[in-house]
Structure 1
Amino acid sequence: MSTTIEQPAATAPDTTLLRFATAGSVDDGKSTLVGRLLHDSKSVLADQLAAVEGASRARGRSGPDLALLTDGLRAEREQGITIDVAYRYFATPRRRFVLADTPGHVQYTRNMVTGASTADLAVVLVDARAGVVEQTRRHAAVAALLRVPHMVLAVNKMDLVGYARAPFTAIAEEFTAYASELGIPDVRVIPISALAGDNVVRPSAAMPWYQGPTVLEHLETVPTGQDPTGAPARFPVQYVIRPQTAEHPDYRGYAGQIASGVLRVGEPVTVLPSGRTSTIEGIDALGRSVDAAWAPQSVTLRLADDLDASRGDLIAPAASPPALTREVAATVCHLADQPLTAGRQVLLKHTTRTVKAIVTDIPSRLTLDDLSQHPAPERLVANDIGRVRVRTAEPLALDAYADSRRTGSFLLIDPADGTTLAAGMAGGSFTPAEAGAAPGGEAAAPGAGREA
C-alpha cells in the first residue's frame, strides 16, 4: 500500500533547519558573537559555561570570555584567533541551526570555503571603527562565489563608537553597494555589540534609531531552502539493496539521498552514465512506500526493470537528464599545501562517483581583492581560487554549480594518499555579475532588509 507524504509547509518554523557561517577579519568578534548567540539563547550547558569561566579567569578576565565557546583548539586559545572551522548545533523554539564559525585570516581562506560551502546564510562581521576592509570584501566574494543566497552584515563593536548612527549608515551603504556588484540577492545590515549583547538576541536600548530585527530574529525568520519542484530531480545511487529474504526474494532497491527535485512513482527515468531507461516502480522511505519524495530525503527507489546500476550512478528524469561530459571547466579553491599544476593526475569525486582524471590547464587565478583574473598562473597553492580544466577517464553527469550546489560541485583528490586537493564548482568563469545565487538581485537598503 502506498502512502502520500505531504510536504511540510515552508513556513513551519519548528521543522526548518538553517545552516549558516560566520566570517570577518581578525578581531572583528566572530567567536564572541557566536558565543553570545549560544549563551543568550540558553544553548550552553552548565559544565561548558563553567569551563569557559575557569579558562577566562586563568587569562585574567573578570567575566566569561564567550569566544572560548567556539575557539576550542589550544593554538586558537593561546593566540586569540580562530584557525579551524568550529561547528556548533543549537535550537530555539522556532528553528534548528548548524553554525560554522570560520577563520578570518587570509591564509585560512580554504577553511572559510569549507564552512560556507553548505551554508544558506553568511554572517560577515565588520568592526564599526574600521568599516569595510579588504578581508570583508574577500569573504563577501567567496560567499558569492559559493552562491550563498542570504547574507547578514553585522556591524560589531557599536559600543566603541558610542552607538552612533552615522558610522553604521556609512558602512551599510558601502557594503550593500559592493554586494550588489557581486549579485548577492539578499543582504541585511544589523548594528550590534557582541560583547555587550546589543541586537544579538535581545534588542538594544542604546540604538533606538534601529528598528530592524536582532541577529537571532533574522536567523529565525529568513527563508530556507528552495521549492523542491523548481529543479530537475537528481538521485546519486549510494548503495544497492538486495535483502533476498523469503518475504522479498526479488527485491532490488537503489538507496541514496535525493540531491534535488522531486521523484514520483510511475515517472520515466534514465540511469547515467549508461543511459538506460526505466520507470520508478516504487519509493520506500522510513520503512513504508510513498508516492513521491523530494530533496533532501533519503529513500530507496525500485525500478520496473532490472538494470545494471550501482554506486556512483545517477538516476534522473528521462525528460531532463544532465549532460554527460569528460571535459570539466570549473572554479576551484585549492585546499592542500602541495600545489596543483597542469598535468597532475587526480581522482575526481562527484556525488557518490569517483573517477580518474587529469588537470589539463589552469587558465587563471582569481584575485579576491578586486575580483580580477590573473592569467596563466602555472599553479595554484593553498587558499588560491582559480579556473581549471580537467579531463576525466569516464563520463560524469555534472550540472552547472549555478543550477545545483549539490550536483555541480566536486572534489579533486590525490590518488596516492587520498588527500583532498581542491573543492570545485563546475560552470563558467567567475565574474561579479555571475557570482550571486540569483543573478540580477539587488541588496536591501541599510537596516531595512529584504527577504528573497
Structure 2
Amino acid sequence: MSTTTTEELSATTLLRFATAGSVDDGKSTLVGRLLHDSKSVLTDQLEAVARASASRGQEGPDLALLTDGLRAEREQGITIDVAYRYFATPRRRFILADTPGHVQYTRNMVTGASTAELTVILVDARNGVVEQTRRHAAIAALLRVPHVVLAVNKMDLVGYEEKVFAAIAEKFTAYATELGVPEVTAIPISALAGDNVVEPSANMDWYAGPTVLEHLETVPVSHDLAHCHARLPVQYVIRPQTAEHPDYRGYAGQIAAGTFRAGESVTVLPSGRATKIVGIDLLGRPVDVAWTPQSVTLLLEDDIDISRGDLIVPSKDAPPTTQDIEATVCHVADEPLRVGHRVLLKHGTRTVKAIVKDIPSRLTLDDLSLHPHPGQLVANDIGRVKIRTAEPLPVDSYSDSRRTGSFILIDPNDGTTLTAGMVGESFASPEPVKDETDDDGWDF
C-alpha cells in the first residue's frame, strides 16, 4: 500500500473522476494499472487477482479484475456495474467511477459522471473515435464535467505511431469543442504495458505531456460551492418533544450549495413564505454559519408549514417556481419515453406527478444535428423535453447548479428510473411547437 500519512492526506485535495469508453477499449485495465502502479492495492488483492488470472489460463495478472467485481463481469469480460474505487497519492485523494462501455449500460455512465470533475474517455488506437465515444463526450458535455481527458489506448498495437495519436486527438477535440467541452487533454497510453499511465513511456519519446496520473494529480479542482446560490432541500422535520426541548422544531437536510447564516432572511419554496433563521445545529451543536455539503438542522423564527421536499433559500436569491420545465435529458430506460407519458419527477427531495408535453428534438451524435419532433426517446437517446408538473417546483438552471438544476423521471407503476434531466441545458434552440397532448386526466 501507499505510505501516504494522515497528515499528508489532510492537506491534499479530492478529485472525483470517471472513466468511459467503448467495450474492450481497456477502461478496467487502465484503472487496474493506476491502482497497481501507484501502489494503492493490497497484497492480498494482488494475490487474488493473480489466482483468478491463472485459473483463466493467463500468464500474468489481469489488472482489469481489480475493478470488475461482479461474477457476470468476470465471466463475460465486460464491465456492467459502476465500480467505485478510492485511492490516494501524496499529492491528491481520488474517488474513481469505472463505468461500463457497452451501449446498453450507457445509463451507468450517466450515474458515474454526474458528480465527476473530470472524465477519462478511452479510445482504441486501432478504431479511433466511434459512436460510443461521441455519446460519452456528449454526456460529459451535458453534465458539464469541467475536464475531459482523451486517453488513446493500445498504442503498442499501432507501433506507438505519433501520427495515429495525432489524428485521433484532432478529430475528438474538434467534436468535443462543438459540444462545448471547455478543456480536452489528449494522452497516448498503453494500459496493458503501463506506457504513460503512471510512468512516462520510453516508447513514445515524441510525447512530452503528462502521464495520466500526473494530470490527475495536477488538474485544477474547485470545490468552492460555498459562494453559489444557497439551497437546502428539506429531508426531515425534527420535533423531539422532550422536556428539555418542548418546542423544538428543526428542518434537517444536506446543504446542496451555498452558505446559510443565523439571522439571515430565508424563503420556503414552493409556498413562498418568508421567515428568518434563528439557529443552525450542526452535529448536535449550534453554529453561526454552515455551508455545502454539511448536513444541518435550521431553526426558523416563524412556525410555518414546512415538510419534506420543500426548499429553503435566501430571500434575496430565490429561484423561480414553475410547473413548466424545459430540459435536455438522457433517456436510460428500455421503455421509450413518449409525448403524453405520465411520469413522476424527482427534484431534490420532492417527487411530483408530471406529463411529458413535448419532445421537440433528439440529438444526432454523428454530426450534432437535431432531429425535430421524434415523438419518443429510446434507451441512450439524448433529446429536449417539455414537462408539465402537477405542482410548482423551484428549479435552477443546470448551468448554475448541478444539484438543484437536475431531476430524474420515474415510472409511476414500478419505480424504474426513466430519464436523467438537466434544466435549461441545450445544444441548440429548436423552434417552439404547439402543445398537442391529449386531455387524459393528468393535463395540469
Q: Give 2:38's aligned amino acid.
A: S
Equivalent residues in 2 for 1:34-433, closer than 5 Å:
34-431=31-428
Inter-CA distance 135–92: structure 2 relative to 1 (3 Å threshold): same
Task: Please give the secondary structure, in 2, of the residue aligned with 1:228.
Answer: coil
1:29 aligned partner = 26
Between the aligned partners of 1:70 and 1:400, the Cα distance in structure 2 is 35
Q: Give 1:161's aligned amino acid.
A: V
Q: Report if the CA contact (8 A) 1:13-1:94 is conserved.
A: no
Task: Please give the secondary structure, in 1, of the residue aligned with 2:358.
Answer: strand
Inter-CA distance 89–333: structure 2 relative to 1 (3 Å threshold): same
TM-score (norm 1): 0.88
TM-score (norm 2): 0.90
Uncovered stretches (5+) of structure 1, i.e. residues with no partner: 1-10, 433-452
Between the aligned partners of 2:192 and 2:248, the Cα distance in structure 1 is 59
Which whole-Å deviations, capped at 9, do the CAs of 1:394-425 have from their partners, x for residues lacking one?
A: 11011111211100111111122211111111
Deviation at 1:226, TM superposition (A): 4.2
Deviation at 1:160, TM superposition (A): 2.5
1:441 aligned partner = none
Between the aligned partners of 1:270 and 1:307, the Cα distance in structure 2 is 11
Q: Report if the CA contact (8 A) 1:138-1:369 is conserved.
A: no
Between the aligned partners of 2:274 and 2:352, the Cα distance in structure 1 is 23
Between the aligned partners of 2:237 and 2:217, the Cα distance in structure 1 is 38
Q: Report if the CA contact (8 A) 1:199-1:215 is conserved.
A: yes
Deviation at 1:107, TM superposition (A): 2.7
Between the aligned partners of 2:176 and 2:338, the Cα distance in structure 1 is 32
Between the aligned partners of 2:210 and 2:360, the Cα distance in structure 1 is 44
Q: Report if the CA contact (8 A) 1:37-1:201 is conserved.
A: yes
Between the aligned partners of 2:132 and 2:236, the Cα distance in structure 1 is 43
Between the aligned partners of 2:128 and 2:384, the Cα distance in structure 1 is 31
Which whole-Å deviations, capped at 9, do the CAs of 1:309-331 have from their partners, x for residues lacking one?
A: 11100011101101000011112
Task: Please give the secondary structure, in 1, of the residue aligned with 2:393.
Answer: strand
Which whole-Å deviations, capped at 9, do the CAs of 1:299-347 have from their partners, x for residues lacking one?
A: 1111122221111000111011010000111122222222222222211
Task: Please give the secondary structure, in 2, of the residue aligned with 1:111.
Answer: helix
Between the aligned partners of 1:369 and 1:104, the Cα distance in structure 2 is 18
Tell me whether 325-334 or 373-382 shows the greater mean CA deviation: 373-382
Q: Report if the CA contact (8 A) 2:266-2:314 is conserved.
A: yes
Which whole-Å deviations, capped at 9, do the CAs of 1:23-63 have from their partners, x for residues lacking one?
A: 11222111100111111222223332222212211221100
Between the aligned partners of 2:111 and 2:205, the Cα distance in structure 1 is 37
Deviation at 1:13, TM superposition (A): 7.1
Q: Give 1:38's aligned amino acid.
A: L
Q: Report if the CA contact (8 A) 2:236-2:251 is conserved.
A: yes
Q: Report if the CA contact (8 A) 2:142-2:425 is conserved.
A: no
Tell me whether 346-355 or 288-297 shows the greater mean CA deviation: 288-297
Task: Please give the secondary structure, in 2, of the residue aligned with 1:173.
Answer: helix
Which whole-Å deviations, capped at 9, do the CAs of 1:222-264 have from their partners, x for residues lacking one?
A: 2223432442111101111122233322222211111111112
Task: Please give the secondary structure, in 2, of the residue aligned with 1:415.
Answer: coil
Between the aligned partners of 2:48 and 2:99, the Cα distance in structure 1 is 22
* Greater RCO, 1 or 2 (C-alpha within 8 Å, sep 6+): 1
Q: Give 1:350's aligned amino acid.
A: H
Which whole-Å deviations, capped at 9, do the CAs of 1:175-204 have from their partners, x for residues lacking one?
A: 222222222112222222111112212222
Inter-CA distance 431–121: structure 2 relative to 1 (3 Å threshold): farther
Q: Report if the CA contact (8 A) 1:102-1:115 is conserved.
A: yes
Deviation at 1:82, TM superposition (A): 1.9
Q: Give 2:195's aligned amino acid.
A: D
Alignment RMSD: 2.0
Between the aligned partners of 1:75 and 1:237, the Cα distance in structure 2 is 39
Q: Report if the CA contact (8 A) 2:125-2:154 is conserved.
A: yes
Uncovered stretches (5+) of structure 2, i.e. residues with no partner: 1-7, 430-444
Q: Report if the CA contact (8 A) 2:155-2:188 is conserved.
A: yes
Q: Report if the CA contact (8 A) 1:137-1:369 is conserved.
A: yes
Which whole-Å deviations, capped at 9, do the CAs of 1:272-293 have from their partners, x for residues lacking one?
A: 0111111121222233222222
Q: Report if the CA contact (8 A) 1:14-1:96 is conserved.
A: no
Task: Please give the secondary structure, in 1, of the residue aligned with 2:128.
Answer: coil
Q: Give 1:327's aligned amino acid.
A: D
Between the aligned partners of 1:248 and 1:211, the Cα distance in structure 2 is 65
Tell me whether 369-378 or 398-407 shows the greater mean CA deviation: 369-378
